[in-house]
Amino acid sequence: MTDGTGEALAAALRIVSSARCVSSGLLLAVSGGPDSLALLLAARTGRADLPPLAVATIDHGLRPESAAEAEAVGALCAALGLSHRRLVWRGPEGAGGNLAALAREARYDLLAREARRCSADAVVTAHHFDDQLETHLLARARGVALQEAAGMRVWRDLQPGLVLLRPFLSLRKSALVDLVAGEGVQAADDPGNRDPRSARARLRLALAAGEHDEAALADVLRAADRHRMTRDEALAERLRALAVSGTLRTGESGQIELADASALSPTLLSRCLTAAGGAAVTPPTRAVLRLAEALAARRRFTATLNGCRVERQGDRLLFLREYGREGIAPMSTEGPDVTFDHRFDIRPPAEAGRAMRIVAWGSLGRGNLRDRTLPVALDESDRPIACHPALAPKLPSCAPLVLRGRVGWRLWADLPGSAPFM
């Protein structure tokens, strides 16, 4: 291909391979729009030099046409000799919430499950330069500092052993549209992308009307990305030194211990809060800076932020999940494994196969500061039948949950090199 898509895909794989192992397979996320169809065509052309390919389409059910669009992608994949699966999102549980955000989170969860099923170690999406501009400008509108608004990464850690790869971030949407049209492939059209009720859609229209200096924005994005890379490399080096020396440790209950409070930087503090607190996103930068100042000024101090309780006792810092006023959301046990509170990957043992849901021990009115945030599997009568190993002395009749902590992985997420702790 001479359009640059094949070269961009190969370049992205080289970049991610310097930090993570991506060899078992690629799962292409293809909606049927022109961007993702361009990704599909690029992978088709270069498949001889790529890991094994599979394709998935998320059917959110948000538009009447979504099922037919997924079927059209499946038909195209069959013609290209590629496996395809339609993944259906049943919608959010309960009312309220940001539907777009819920749909996005569900999309990545479904893609991650499918990637595990087909043994892929990378999910590949077709986000492009226009998306990058929109993401940057939306971040700036929220008050994010210029150097922090670097946009999307070419790759990021999605789950342990699974990365999200975005090879087209340097390519314009118009080039992808032209490629697909030139191949004679009919792309789906989502009118929601032009709905002015959406902030992103309004920004998209403003960019199309030339209301922003895109060349200047591109320079800002490149500078911010260089700043982020430098910061990531420094943080990785610092984290590795702290872990190797035993100064920073993660515990089986999801806690983080830092034996030298003077080693805490705002960047490291943000990661510790997010990882131990089970948060989906990092806390606001200003709040992190205020907390860092308070922790540095006092040798005895306790505070909570972003779902995390942090305690300073002399030189020692301890980060624990905060149970909170509303508690921790329960999880259904649908599927072979579940992720509880962004902190534990759980696969119930065979004897707990009748488990209906997994909850925090505190939801049953039990547990101390640490224990009440730990997972327990309940049967249909809400009787505990399996628990986190740390709860075994209190629940001797329960089977142990087969689990793996994510806190160490989240501390290292998106950083270069292999993690010194997991």
- Is the confidence at residue 396, as pLDDT, over 90? yes
Alpha-carbon distance values, 129 to 37, 132, 153, 166, 381 (Å):
16, 5, 12, 10, 51
- Is the confidence at residue 117, as pLDDT, over 60? yes
pLDDT in tens, 154-186: 999 999 999 999 999 999 999 999 999 999 999
Band of the pLDDT at 2, cuts 50, 70, 90?
low
What's the pLDDT at 337? Answer: 79
Band of the pLDDT at 95, cuts 50, 70, 90?
very low
Name the architecture of domain 246-322.
Answer: 2-Layer Sandwich (3.30)
Q: Which sequence spans correspond to the domains of the chain?
A: 5-221, 246-322, 331-405
Kindly state the percentage of the chain with pLDDT values over 70. 93
* CATH class held by domain 5-221: alpha beta
Lowest mean pLDDT among 98-107, 116-125, 187-196, 412-421: 98-107
Kindly state the percentage of the chain with pLDDT values over 90. 75
- Is the confidence at residue 206, as pLDDT, over 70? yes
246-322 has the same fold as 5-221:
no
Band of the pLDDT at 104, cuts 50, 70, 90?
confident
In terms of DSSP bridges, do strands 338-340 and 344-347 run parallel, antiparallel, or are they unpaired? Answer: antiparallel
Mean pLDDT of all residues belonging to the chain: 91
Residue the block writes with tokens 């996320």: 29
CA distance 283 to 54: 35
The pTM of the whole model exceeds 0.85 = yes
Lowest mean pLDDT among 53-57, 137-141, 219-223, 404-408: 137-141
- SS3 (DSSP) at 362: helix
Residue the block writes with tokens 């990785």: 236
- Report the binding-site residues for ATP: 31-36
- Is the confidence at residue 62, as pLDDT, over 50? yes
- Report the binding-site residues: 31-36
Band of the pLDDT at 336, cuts 50, 70, 90?
confident
Contacts 24+ apart (CB under 8 A), 90-96: 90/61, 91/61
- Is the confidence at residue 213, as pLDDT, over 50? yes
> What is the CB neighbour count within 10 angstroms for residue 193?
12
Phi, psi of 138 (to 5 degrees): -65, -40
Handedness of CA 329, 334, 340, 342 (dihedral sign): negative
What's the pLDDT at 189? Answer: 84
pLDDT in tens, 232-274: 999 999 999 999 999 999 999 999 999 999 999 999 999 999 9
